[in-house]
DNA sequence: ACGCACAATGCATATTATTGCACGGCCCGA
DNA sequence: TCGGGCCGTGCAATAATATGCATTGTGCGT
C-alpha cells in the first residue's frame, strides 16, 4: 500500500515483463493490487531511474542494469564498428583501436567473435582495445580491414 | 550528409551535451550542419538504441554505455599520477604502469587526454595500465616522464 | 485539539515521441 | 531506357509522458 512497496513492485514488473508504456504498467499494477494514475507512474519511474529504450518492437522500459547488459544481439563487427570507431594505430604485432567512450567492450567482443586468423586475441578497456596480431604484416591487414568496415 | 554520419554525430552530441528532448537534439544538429525533422530523430534514436532517462532535472538521452560510468571531471596526469602511482616497468614497446587499487582507470584516462606522441594507446584495469608506445625508445621517454611527474 | 508543513497523488493540460502514409531518389534487372 | 522495389524522409495525426496546480492525508509541535 505504501509508495515504497509499489515502487518495488514496479521494479519487478519491469524486470520480468515487457512494459511498453506507463499505461501498460498501470494495468499490471492494477492486477497486482495497486490503482494509481499515469502521473504517479511518471514520477515513480523518475525516482527509480528507469529508462525508456526504443526498440524495433516499440519502446520498452528497462532498468539501468539491464541497459548496460542488454546491448541487443549486435555482435557483428560490421554493425558495431561504424557506430563506435574512433581511430586505429599500432606498432609491431600490436594494434590499438580507439572507440568512443564505452565502445571498446562491445567492439572487442565482436572482433573476437569474428574469429579472424590474423588476430591472436583482444583486450578491451573503456575506449581502447588492444589487438594482438600474429605478425606485423597481419597487423596491417587487420588495420586496413577495420578502417574499411568503419567507413561503411 | 549521410544517415550514418548523422547518427555518428548524434552519438557524440548525446555523449557530450545535455540533450533533454529530440527538439534539443534537432537544434544541436542544425548547428552541426544537419537539418532534419524530429520524426527522423525519433527513428535515429531507436536505431542507435539511445535511451531516455528521467532525472530530477528532467529527461535526458543517454547511451547504454554511458549509463554505468558517469565521470565528468577532466583530469591532468600531473594531478592524478602522484596520487595513485605505484611503479612503472616495461619491455619492448610496452609499458606497464601500476597504481594503487582503483587508480588505473582515471590515470589511463588522464594519459590518453594528455595526447603524448610517443603513446599509441592505453588500457586500464583495476590497478594496472598497459601503455603501448611507438617504439622501445619512446617507452623509455615516457617511463622517465611518468617517474618525474609521479615524484612531483 | 489545532494548525502548519509536507509528502503523495489526481486532474487537466502542456510537452514530447511515435507512426501511418506518401513522395522522391537510387539502384538493379530485363 | 523503363519499371519495380526499397530506403530515407517529411508531414500530420495520434499516442505517450511530464508537469502546474489543487486536494487530501498524516505527523508534529504547541
Dihedral through CA A55, CA B27, CA A85, CA A114, nearest 10? 20
> Where do you find CATH 3.30.1360.40 in chain A?
76-151
What number is the average pLDDT over the span A100-112? Answer: 83
Q: What is the CATH number of domain B3-62?
A: 1.10.10.10
- Quote the pLDDT of residue A69: 55
What number is the average pLDDT over the span B4-23? Answer: 88
C-alpha cell at B105: 582507470
User: How far, CA to CA in Å, does A97 sit from each of A37, A137, B132?
Assistant: 49, 17, 11
- Within 10 A of A8 (CB to CB), how many other CB atoms are there? 12
A42 interaction partners in chain B (CB closer than 8 Å):
54
Assess whether B43 (CB) lies less than 7 A from strand C: yes
> May I ask the CATH architecture of the domain B76-151?
2-Layer Sandwich (3.30)
Asked if residue B69 has pLDDT above 60, the reply is no
More confident residue, A151 or B74: A151
> Where do you find CATH 1.10.10.10 in chain A?
3-62
A119-151 pLDDT, tens digit each: 888 888 888 999 989 999 999 999 999 988 887
A128 with B123: Cβ contact below 8 A: yes
Can you say how many angstroms the Cα of residue B7 is from the centroid of all Cα atoms in its chain? 19
Q: What is d(CA A64, CA A129) in angstroms, rounded to the nearest whole number? A: 25
The model's confidence at residue B70, banded by pLDDT at 50, 70 and 90, is: very low
Assess whether B23 (CB) lies less than 7 A from strand C: yes
Q: Give the pTM.
A: 0.70
As a whole number, the mean pLDDT across chain B is 87
Contact B13, B27 (CB under 8 A): no
Q: What is d(CA A113, CA A47) in angstroms, rounded to the nearest whole number? A: 38
B79-127 pLDDT, tens digit each: 888 888 898 998 899 999 988 877 888 899 899 989 999 999 999 877 8
Amino acid at each position: 500500500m505504501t509508495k515504497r512497496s509499489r515502487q518495488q513492485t514496479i521494479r519487478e514488473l519491469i524486470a520480468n515483463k515487457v512494459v511498453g508504456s506507463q499505461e501498460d504498467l498501470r494495468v499490471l499494477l492494477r492486477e497486482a493490487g495497486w490503482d494509481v494514475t499515469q502521473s504517479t507512474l511518471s514520477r515513480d519511474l523518475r525516482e527509480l531511474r528507469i529508462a525508456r529504450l526504443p526498440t524495433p518492437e516499440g519502446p520498452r522500459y528497462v532498468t539501468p542494469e539491464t541497459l548496460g547488459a542488454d546491448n541487443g544481439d549486435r555482435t557483428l563487427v560490421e554493425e558495431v564498428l561504424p557506430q563506435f570507431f574512433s581511430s586505429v594505430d599500432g606498432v609491431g604485432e600490436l594494434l590499438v583501436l580507439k572507440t568512443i567512450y564505452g565502445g571498446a567492450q562491445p567492439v572487442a567482443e565482436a572482433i573476437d567473435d569474428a574469429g579472424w586468423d590474423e588476430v591472436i586475441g583482444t583486450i578491451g578497456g573503456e575506449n581502447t582495445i588492444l589487438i594482438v596480431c600474429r605478425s606485423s604484416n597481419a597487423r596491417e591487414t587487420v588495420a586496413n580491414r577495420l578502417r574499411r568496415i568503419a567507413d561503411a
